[in-house]
Amino acid sequence: MSLRVLALCGGIGGAKLALGLHTVLPPGHLTVVANTGDDFEHLGLCISPDVDTVLYTLAGIANPQTGWGRAEETWHFMAELERVGGPTWFQLGDKDLATHVERTRRLRSGERLHEIIDDFSRRFGIAGTVVLPMSNDSVRTIVHADQGNLGFQDYFVARRCAPIVQRISYQRAEQAHAAGTVLQQLAESHFDAVIICPSNPYLSIQPLLAIPEWHSALQHSPAPVIAISPIIAGNAVKGPTAKIMRELGVDVSAVAVARHYDELIDGFVVDEADANCMAQLTVRALATRTLMQTLADKQSLAQQVLQFAATLR
């Protein structure tokens, strides 16, 4: 019997495991919740990067080099925007632009973000898997750094993660609510496992955990909660996770990530390179290959995590 899975996912790293789960589970067995703390308004458009990374990745149309934006993209809009003196620090490809324009039009007409994403996922042919934003309410990840209090995209793209991070806050998370009926489904045991994908815990997962009803729902989840470490042998696979951990004074290790999730998780998955740290963990642990470079890697990790989850039920 295949497990029914709720996967919590940030950007590129998390979306890789979401794709693995999407391809190994039968239709109707996977709900993916995407981080919206990276969202921002740019050129008057409502941009939801992690949501779009999940949609494009599951639809097989994501840019394979960057992990964000579209494959086979063209950049006429950006070239012409530059000609008329517009801001080009945040690159919007011609195909990607349609997603932002249409999402913005629908939001302005009163449609809710989770309804828009549900329709987009259907139109992108993501059959059988539900894709949800963590909330329809605006939550913004703010990076408090030596260069000031920065919006996520300012920190991540404009300043290329160079600022020294002192603290991260999640604006208006306290007032935000989960989208749709996912928390009711979780409470009513519609899911057999909750998987926290290997995204940056501080930038991509914490915005969701900062929403009180999400944190409480996971704390009281009837299904086991399993996190996968984004740190392998003291390094981040991609992005600023290791740098941020150092700057926050946190040990750059899988154990530190497990401690961050603390009482929320029932199981933790580390890379085989970190098998020796399992004795330091206070939760059930699995050591396996967690580096995902090919689709087969993503599917294999998904299978390993599902088998591990089944032993925790």
Tell me how far, at minimum, the Cβ of 67 lies from ligand FO1, in Å: 6
Which residue in 156, 191, 268, 308 binds ligand FO1 (CB under 6 A)? 156
The answer to whether 227 touches 268, Cβ cutoff 8 Å, is: yes
Which residue in 4, 6, 8, 11 binds ligand FO1 (CB under 6 A)? 11
Does 39 help bind ligand FO1 (rule: CB under 6 A)?
Answer: no
Task: Using the minimum distance from each CB to ligand FO1, give the nearer residue, 68 or 191.
Answer: 68
Site string for ligand FO1, 68-87 (x = CB under 6 A): xx------------------
From the list 137, 114, 4, the residue with the least C-alpha distance to 122 is: 114
Which residue in 13, 20, 49, 224 binds ligand FO1 (CB under 6 A)? 49
DSSP conformation letters of 97-163:
HHHHHHHHHHHHTT--HHHHHHHHHHHTT-TTEEEEESBSS--EEEEEETTEEEEHHIIIIISTT-S
The backbone region for 86, taken as left when phi is positive above 0, alpha when psi lies in -120 to 50, beta otherwise, is: beta
Does 201 help bind ligand FO1 (rule: CB under 6 A)?
Answer: no
Longest dimension (CA), the chain: 59
Residue showing tokens 């941009």: 47
- Work out the number of other CB atoms within 10 angstroms of the CB of residue 284: 16
Residue of this chain nearest to ligand FO1 (CB atom): 11
Scanning residues 222 to 281, which ones bind ligand FO1 (CB under 6 A)? Answer: none
Helices (H), ranges, 25-75: 49-59
Does 12 help bind ligand FO1 (rule: CB under 6 A)?
Answer: yes
Tell me how far, at minimum, the Cβ of 128 lies from ligand FO1, in Å: 23
Give the interface size with ligand FO1 as a residue count (CB under 6 A): 16
Task: Using the minimum distance from each CB to ligand FO1, give the nearer residue, 90 or 124.
Answer: 90
Distance of CA 131 to the CA centre of its chain: 11
Q: What is the C-alpha separation between 8 and 51, in angstroms, rounded?
A: 11
Stretch that binds ligand FO1, among 24-32, 126-134, 152-160, 208-216 (CB under 6 A): 152-160
Which residue in 13, 25, 96, 180 binds ligand FO1 (CB under 6 A)? 96
Task: Using the minimum distance from each CB to ligand FO1, give the nearer residue, 63 or 290.
Answer: 63
Tell me how far, at minimum, the Cβ of 311 lies from ligand FO1, in Å: 31
Q: What is the C-alpha separation between 173 and 187, in angstroms, rounded?
A: 21
SS3 at position 196: strand
Which residues here bind ligand FO1, judged by CB under 6 A?
A: 11-12, 38, 49-50, 52-53, 68-69, 90-92, 96, 153, 156-157
